With several copies, the nearest count.
Chain A
Amino acid sequence: MSATTTPTLRARDYLSDIKPIWCPGCGHFGVLSALTKALAYLERPKEDTAVISGIGCSSRLPAYLDCYGFHGLHGRALPLATGLKVARPDLTVIVAGGDGDGFSIGGNHFLHACRRNIDLCYIVMDNAVYGMTKGQASPTTPPDWTRSPLTPNGPGIPVFRPAAIALAAGAGFIARGFSGDPHGLSELIARAILHPGFAFVHVLSPCRTFRPDDQSDWKQGVHPFTDRARCDAEAVPALRVDDDGMGIGVLHEADPKAHSGPKDTLADADRAAAIDRIEAELEV
């Protein structure tokens, strides 16, 4: 379906003319920039790329790109993208959202997308808070964070570990990036897009407004991830026990198993003939 010859696009050609509603200094700007870089690097035609999201500050991203996009329901970006990719395997489908969207309300789809291994690139812009709804705790918020009146004593629950869950659920590609390093991040995103199967990119993307300290804490804290997660298809996988949640890089990459290519779609006439055969079987 893609146009015959596309002129080479620069990163900014992937941007739409719509101005983000994000607060100044929001980490999500870095993700937007990294994504456009990755698309330009991979020379993906804009019209063959679809960016699907849920609801949240992070999930506003699709409209800021000049690709096809869908700003869907809170927590349901992955299934929407799954439907699109299964129906249209020719497209590059990128899924984007927040930690609330992906790990709280969307947790089940995250689990099952990892298992189902459809060829999607899933970028979670984790700011350890619900930005859009004005600063409640998310699954990745530390248990002792008391700044939300909804949880005045802090959420009190150990943080959700996205990479560990993804690994246990069977994801074939797991990376962690930092929005403060859009260059490194764009490389991770590009590799995730190229990975034939479900690829998860966990991005530390600070919320300037509701978690103002993360920006500098994370800038200080991130470091390259050195060892790879072990994954044995027959057994239970393990991330190295020294993953401290700040290791940046590709954490796990499974043998890219040959994906069953797109199904042959039938020509209209063949489809009609197939239906005739089905109907004939209803007779004696």
Chain B
Amino acid sequence: MTRRTSDHSQPITVAISGSGGSGALTAGSILLAAAQRCDRYGLMMRAAGPQVRGGESVAILRIGPTPVTNIGDRVDLLAALDWRNIERFVDELPLDSDSLILFDPDSGPIPDLIAASGAEQRGVRFANQAKAQPEGRANMVAVGVAGSAIGLSLTALSEAAGEILANKPVETVRATQACISAGYPKPALAAETAPTRPARRRWRLSGNAAAGLGALRAGVDFVAAYPITPASEMLEWLAPQLERIGGNLVQAEDELAAVSMLVGASFGGVPALTATSGPGLSLMTEGIGLAVASETPIVVVDVARGGPSTGLPTKSEQADLDQALYGLHGEAPHLVLAPLDVGDCAFTTEWASRLAERLQTAAIVLSDQALGQTRAVIDPPAAAPPVPGRKRIDQDRAEQAPSTAGTAGTAGTAGTAGTAGTAEESPAKTAFARYRQSADGISPMSIPGEAGLTYTADGLAHDERGTPSSNAAHHRAQLAKLADKLSGHDYGDAWARRDRGDDYTHRNGSRPISLVTWGSSWGAVQEAAMRLREQGVAVQTIALRLLAPLQHEAMRRALADSEVLVVEINASGQLFRYLHAERVLPSAARSFARPGPLPLRPAEILNSVRELFGPPELERTEAAAISGAGSSRRLGGQA
């Protein structure tokens, strides 16, 4: 036992690796399920070689007694079932001299690249021990060994194996449990074999599933989509659940169809959502623009992967922010949100869906592979803040009644098309003013089936009825309304997750530090902040959940009088640029931006803070020697 693996008060990172068919991923899944049973928190990422199926793979888990937000700086324990193609994973397996490697001496010597880490090495004859059991498998012996090393009980491991292998024949499950037990150090203490019951309600799910759950919570009843990695699992999670709640999922012929299907369903009054990734998002931009212009609510979850083009389908990067913010032609204001962790995928997707409904617009939710395909044990995510639903005709009438006198721009609900001849065609007589200008920019929306409120939705520039018009005043009014309804909405506090620690003040004459980030980078940033505070640095974190519309005033207030570092995983500093474009950053703000596909590690941020703002008392934190993450590009403030 190394220092790190024997201290169970701190999170521990465990990796299980093996060649195709070795079952490294199943082993990881059992460990995570066992952690849930032992009242731990945790998360599990995976990496695999290029083979479509069945190549070498690694499960990397981090397990701890408090919520685990990121994968940490290094691997504490590596259980290598064999060494086949392990060099493919060196970047993902940062080991150092405090790490422990469990390996099967029968599968050959430790490769130099791994041995170079200086990690402690311990031989365990996984395969040989497995052979002792009928149908025994080496990976399950490793589950026993690794599970005990990180403090999981034998009972929890056995139960977890039963759950994960529920579809297998009972003999297989028994053999598995026997192997786990064989790997588990003897004698197992009584406590370790007592039946488990987690003290607290705790969930195990992926970010993709959480996003799906958020959609259901928000009332989404229609999904249309086209498969794409790494978004498919979100759809595959949703399909059977929608069956259960009476909703529909349509597998479309392509993404162009999918996004237009959403617009149709939503026009019909049914909240609608899709999930995709970069290439699919590109194909959807025209349809998203239609939703914006026709004011039909839809939600598009982008589970981002590395780019550009087909890019890195199974790896993560935060490089679709530019497209999500700016990717529509013409002026097309819309919502952009990003979940901050696995559980937050539920919160943010729910909130985004509710906001889209209320504001009659498109919402893009920027998840990514690192959230979507990570499975985690977490506290159940909170419900999103309440948002009123679509403005239907009765609400609109109620709003208008008391205030007709006072409010600018409130024309009759059954309005006219404006001055004669300004609309393209002849003026309305009694038709419904679907796009009526109102005080909050939100027009009443009828849905098919409602008599007397028929209208034709349109993506052409139009007047208040929806009739196409190229009149300048109509165009200006439409654009102003699209922008104002978004900027005028009160989003409350949920726009960001903020943490100032206990002691966020000036200290020894130096200003406190603001770490600004978004999306999946939050986990590493918050851990970096924690460690900085331990070293006596005053630091706050601001993780943006609502990216557009940006909360300018709140941001400026939050950043006032601090050193600012913007952290994200992409090559060009997309958030950094965006915040400058919106003029909320001080000119001396700095950027830490580096491309994927490697997960962000807290040490990278610590090092960047030290280099850029370096209070002398700050310890240098070595990123593990073999991590390839060092060559990030840093953009200084230059204006």
- Of B3-11, B169-177, B423-431, the one contacting chain A is B423-431
What does the 1/0 interface line of A1-40 toward B look like (CB < 8 Å)? 1110000000000001111111110100000000000000
B306-346 interface mask toward A, CB cutoff 8 Å, 1 = contact, 0 = none? 00011000000000000000000000000000000000000
Let me know if A45 and B451 touch, CB within 8 A. Answer: yes
B425-467 interface with A by 8 A CB criterion:
425-426, 428-429, 431, 448-460, 466-467
Whether B251 lies near A151 (C-beta < 8 A) is yes
In the bound complex, how far is the Cα of B261 from the Cα of A280, in angstroms? 31
**Which of A73-81, A175-183, A195-203, A227-235 interfaces with chain B?**
A73-81
Contact of B248 with A by CB under 8 A: yes
- The interface stretch among B112-120, B226-234, B558-566, B585-593 is B226-234
Q: Are B265 and A84 in contact (CB under 8 A)?
A: yes
Residues from 101 to 136 in A contacting B, C-beta threshold 8 Å: 104-105, 107-109, 111-112, 130-134, 136
**Contact digits for B177-218, partner A, Cβ 8 Å, 1 yes 0 no:** 000000000000000000010100111110001000100110
Per a CB cutoff under 8 Å, which of A48, A79, A263, A275 touches B256?
Answer: A79
- Residues in A with CB closer than 8 Å to B269 are 87-88
- Most-contacted residue by chain A among B254, B424, B426 (CB, 10 A): B254
Complex Cα–Cα for A265 and B243 (A): 10
Question: Which chain B residues lie closer than 8 Å to A107 at the CB level?
Answer: 253
A95 CA / B453 CA spacing, docked (Å): 20
Q: Which of B50-58, B73-81, B131-139, B621-629 contacts A (4 or more CB under 8 A)?
A: B50-58
Q: Which residue of B lies closest to A92 (CB)?
A: B448
Residue with the greatest number of chain B CB neighbours at <10 A, chosen from A18, A51, A55, A108: A18
Q: Which of B53, B198, B431 has the most CB of A within 10 A?
A: B53
CA distance A267 to B312 in the complex (A): 42
Which residues of chain B have C-beta atoms less than 8 A from A263's C-beta?
Answer: 246, 248
Contact A73 B246 (CB under 8 A): no
Which residue of chain A has its CB nearest to the CB of B268? A88
- In chain B, positions 235-281 with a C-beta closer than 8 Å to chain A are 235-237, 239-241, 243-246, 248-258, 260-270, 272, 279
Tell which of A46, A80, A150 touches B235, judged by Cβ atoms closer than 8 Å: A150
User: Quick check: A150 and B245 within 8 Å, CB to CB?
Assistant: no
A282 in the interface, Cβ–Cβ < 8 Å?
yes
- CB-defined contacts of A192 to chain B, threshold 8 Å: none
Chain B residues with Cβ below 8 Å from A112 are 252-253, 257
Asked if residues A70 and B279 are in contact (CB atoms below 8 Å), the reply is no
Q: Is B347 in contact with chain A by the CB < 8 A criterion?
A: no
Q: Tell me if A17 and B227 are in contact (CB < 8 A).
A: no
Stretch at the interface among A60-68, A213-221, A247-255: A60-68
Known interface pairs A47-B449, A80-B264; A274-B257 also in contact (CB < 8 Å)? no
Cα A39 to Cα B449 with chains together (Å): 16
Q: Is the CB of B213 within 8 A of A83?
A: no
Contact of B265 among A69, A86, A148, A149 (CB under 8 A): A86
Residue A189 is within 8 A (CB to CB) of chain B in the complex: no
* Inter-chain contact B245/A50, CB cutoff 8 Å: no
Contacts of A69 in B (CB 8 A): 454-457
Tell me whether A90 and B245 are in contact (CB under 8 A): no
For residue B602, give the distance in angstroms from its CB to the closest CB of chain A.
28
> Does A82 count as interface, using CB distance less than 8 angstroms?
yes
Residues on A with beta carbons closer than 8 Å to the beta carbon of B424: 21
Chain A: minimal CB distance from B275 (Å): 11
Alpha-carbon distance between A51 and B454 when the two chains are bound, in angstroms: 11
Contacts A71-B457, A133-B227, A152-B239 given; does A87 touch B451 at CB 8 Å: no
Interface presence of B36 (CB below 8 A):
yes
B260 lies within 8 A of A155 (CB): no
> Nearest chain-A residue to B460 (Cβ)?
A71
Choice from A72, A132, A209 contacting B290 with Cβ under 8 Å: A72
Contact B205 A23 (CB under 8 A): no
A279 at the interface (CB under 8 A from B): yes
**Chain A binding surface SS class:** loop
User: Among the listed A16, A19, A73, A153, which residue makes an inter-chain contact with B286, where contact means beta carbons less than 8 Å apart?
Assistant: A73
Q: Roughly how many angstroms separate A153 CA and B12 CA in the complex, as a whole number?
A: 42
Known contacts A131-B52, A279-B213: A70-B294 contact under CB 8 Å: yes
Min distance, Cβ B180 to any Cβ of chain A, angstroms: 17
A166 located at the interface, meaning its Cβ lies under 8 Å from any Cβ of chain B in the complex: no
Does A174 reach chain B (CB closer than 8 Å)? no
- Which residue of the partner chain A has the closest CB to B458? A71
B527 beta carbon closer than 8 Å to chain A: no
What distance in Å separates the Cβ of B167 from its nearest Cβ neighbour in chain A? 13
Which of B262, B290, B431, B453 is in CB contact (< 8 Å) with A83?
A: B262
Report if B468 contacts A (CB, 8 A). yes
- The size of the chain A interface, using a CB distance under 8 A, is 86
Residues from chain A with Cβ under 8 Å of B425 in the complex: 18-21, 63
Docked pose: A21 CA to B286 CA in angstroms: 25
B245-A266 in contact (CB<8A): yes
A258: CB under 8 A from chain B? no
- Decide yes or no whether B222 CB sits under 8 A from chain A: yes
Alpha-carbon separation in the docked complex, A86 to B246 (Å): 12
A55 adjacent to B250 (CB under 8 Å): no
Tell whether A278 is near chain B: CB-to-CB under 8 Å: yes
B287 at the interface (CB under 8 A from A): yes
Chain B residues positioned under 8 Å from A79 (CB to CB): 224, 252, 256-258, 260-261, 264
Known: A55-B310, A86-B265, A105-B254. A47 touches B222 (CB 8 A): no
Evaluate contact between A86 and B248: CB separation under 8 angstroms: yes
Contacts of A46 on B, CB cut-off 8 Å?
Answer: 451, 454
Decide: A150 and B257 in contact? CB cutoff 8 A.
no
B37 interface residue (CB < 8 Å to A)? yes
Q: Is the CB of B456 within 8 A of A68?
A: yes
A137 at the interface (CB under 8 A from B): yes
- The answer to whether B468 touches A63, judged by C-beta atoms less than 8 angstroms apart, is yes
Please determine whether A82 and B310 come into contact, CB atoms closer than 8 angstroms.
Answer: no
Chain B, residue nearest A76 (CB): B260
Is there a chain B Cβ closer than 8 Å to A284's Cβ?
A: yes
Chain B residues closer than 8 Å to A152, beta-carbon distance: 239-240, 243
CA distance A86 to B252 in the complex (A): 12
Q: Contacts A84-B267, A107-B253, A284-B37 known; A68 to B448 CB distance under 8 Å?
A: yes
Question: What residues on B are CB-neighbors of A73 within 8 Å?
Answer: 260, 279, 286-287, 290, 309-310, 459
Residue of A nearest to B346 (CB): A279
Q: Is B221 among interface residues, defined by CB-CB distance under 8 A?
A: yes
- With CB as the reference atom, state the residue of chain B lying closest to A132: B52
For B222, the chain A residues whose CB sits under 8 A away are: 83, 86-87
**Among A48, A51, A139, which residue has the most Cβ atoms of chain B within 10 A?**
A48
State whether A278 touches B216 (Cβ < 8 A).
Answer: yes
B residues near A47, Cβ cutoff 8 Å: 448-454
Give which listed residue, A87, A104, A149, contacts B270 with CB less than 8 A. Answer: A87
Whether the pair A84, B240 counts as a contact (CB closer than 8 A) is: no
Beta-carbon contact of A76 and B246 below 8 Å = no
Docked Cα-Cα span, A63 to B456, in Å, equals: 6
Task: Judge whether A86 and B250 touch: CB under 8 Å.
Answer: yes
- With A23-B52, A150-B249, A279-B213 as known contacts, state yes or no: A83 contacts B236, CB within 8 Å: no
| Minimum C-beta distance from A252 to chain B (A) | 22
Q: Do B426 and A87 have beta carbons less than 8 Å apart?
A: no
- Give the distance in Å from the alpha carbon of A155 to the alpha carbon of B309 in the complex: 29
Q: Report the minimal beta-carbon distance from B455 to chain A, rounded to whole angstroms.
A: 7
The reply to whether B227 and A150 form a contact with Cβ atoms under 8 Å apart is yes
B123 contact set on A, CB distance < 8 A: none
The distance in angstroms between the C-alpha atoms of A137 and B225, with both chains bound, is 13
Q: 23 A-B pairs, CB-CB below 8 angstroms?
A: A17-B429, A18-B425, A21-B55, A46-B451, A67-B454, A73-B279, A73-B286, A74-B310, A79-B260, A79-B261, A82-B257, A83-B263, A83-B272, A91-B449, A105-B254, A150-B236, A151-B239, A151-B251, A152-B240, A209-B52, A275-B245, A279-B213, A283-B198
User: What 6 A-B pairs are tightest by C-beta distance, nearest first?
Assistant: A1-B449, A83-B264, A83-B261, A69-B456, A87-B265, A84-B264
- Starting from the known contacts A76-B257, A284-B163, 17 additional A-B residue pairs (CB-CB under 8 Å) come to A2-B451, A16-B456, A18-B428, A19-B426, A22-B51, A23-B54, A47-B450, A62-B456, A69-B454, A73-B290, A88-B270, A136-B251, A137-B251, A149-B239, A263-B246, A275-B217, A284-B202
